[in-house]
Amino acid sequence: MQLPLQLNSFEKMEHTLKVAVVGSGTMGNGIAQAFAMQGHSVALADISKDGLDRALSTVKKSLERFVAKEKMTAKEAEAIGDRIHPICNDLGAAVADVDIAIEAVFEREDVKKEVFSVLGEQAPSEALLATNTSSISVTSIASAASGPERVIGMHFMNPVPLMKLVELVRGERTSDATVERAREIAEGIGKTVGVAEDYAGFVSNRILMPMLNEAAFALHEGVATREDIDTIMKLGMNHPMGPLTLSDFIGLDVIVDILDYLLKQTGDPKFRACPMLRRMVQAGKLGRKSGEGFYDYSE
């Protein structure tokens, strides 16, 4: 597989950015890694020391894979790791002198708004403020920050260091200059952008979530086995993963949360979560991260 990396672009880089990533979970540490891999300095902020330790170890493992594949040297990997600075429980310090702050805390509107109220106060007034939300209204999140015209959705895809896309989401008050600056920054780390307006699910999850949900319904109704559903969609549509494997990869709880949010926002029954999906979440079968989802990952 061709990786979207241009490691030899280190020398070509004219301006290194000061970046803060807020939230060190799967998306947060992936975003931090993607910026650090292009030479930028990243403050990775979280309220949990354990969360930060886990994040740094995830980044280390991912970089080791690049080294093992001879995509970079061990020395380069070490330098990339050193550019990520963990900051525990001090959001103000993490964003005090940044060019861009990217929020990647968990998908709760009230929590995101709390973060944006601090970002609006503590980040420099010219800093770009981005949310990695996958479905929550950017307009609503931006309303909590002073200067909502500099707030934008920058929706990265998992695994961030490998995936080419950043979906930019323009909130009601997002300025054109902010969209262009976000495009420049995303392209500067080797990504390609697609721009969406701030409507439920944007483009990516408006289309992806009903597909994943439909795959669960197909299994629930006995249309085919899980393996056949995945084989048909993977090979027939040339997708890298079948929809049930992808659901396990994303997390079934994440999918149900997004579907519930989209249903609430739109009232459209096409977003009604498959009852089997919901029951699996209730049983703690969340996909890869819990060791069991549509498939077994206990090995």
Query: Which parts of this chain interact with ligand CAA (CB under 6 A)?
Result: 1, 62, 65-66, 69, 134, 157-159, 161-163, 205, 240-241, 246, 250
Residue 205 a catalytic site member: yes
Rounded to a whole number of angstroms, the minimum distance from the CB of residue 151 to ligand CAA is 18
Backbone torsions φ then ψ of 43, nearest 5 degrees: -90, 120
Residue 199 half-sphere exposure toward CB, CA atoms < 13 A: 7
Residue 121 vs 227, nearer CB to ligand CAA: 227
Residue 197 a catalytic site member: no
Element spanning 236, H or E? helix 226-237
Within the chain, how many helices (H) and strands (E) appear?
Answer: 12, 8
Rounded to a whole number of angstroms, the minimum distance from the CB of residue 134 to ligand CAA is 3
Residue 14 a catalytic site member: no
Rounded to a whole number of angstroms, the minimum distance from the CB of residue 262 to ligand CAA is 12
Three-class SS state of 247: helix
Rounded to a whole number of angstroms, the minimum distance from the CB of residue 202 to ligand CAA is 9
Q: For residue 98, give every residue at least 6 positions away whose Cβ sits within 8 Å of its Cβ, in sequence order, or none.
A: 18, 19, 20, 43, 123, 124, 127
Rounded to a whole number of angstroms, the minimum distance from the CB of residue 286 to ligand CAA is 14
Find, among 116, 32, 36, the residue nearest to 76 by Cα. 36
Residue 220 a catalytic site member: no
Residue 120 vs 161, nearer CB to ligand CAA: 161
**Which residue's beta carbon is nearest to the bound ligand CAA?**
134
Which residue spans within 23-120 are E strands per DSSP? 41-46, 84-88, 100-103
Residue 96 vs 241, nearer CB to ligand CAA: 241
Residue 18 vs 278, nearer CB to ligand CAA: 278
Three-class SS state of 153: strand
Residue 134 vs 178, nearer CB to ligand CAA: 134
Among 29, 135, 167, 290, the one annotated catalytic:
167
Backbone torsions φ then ψ of 199, nearest 5 degrees: -120, 155
CA distance 171 to 174: 5
Among 24, 29, 62, 134, the one annotated catalytic:
134
Q: Which two tokens stand for residue 282?
A: 């209730």
CA distance 74 to 41: 19
Please give the positions annotated as active site. Answer: 134, 155, 167, 205
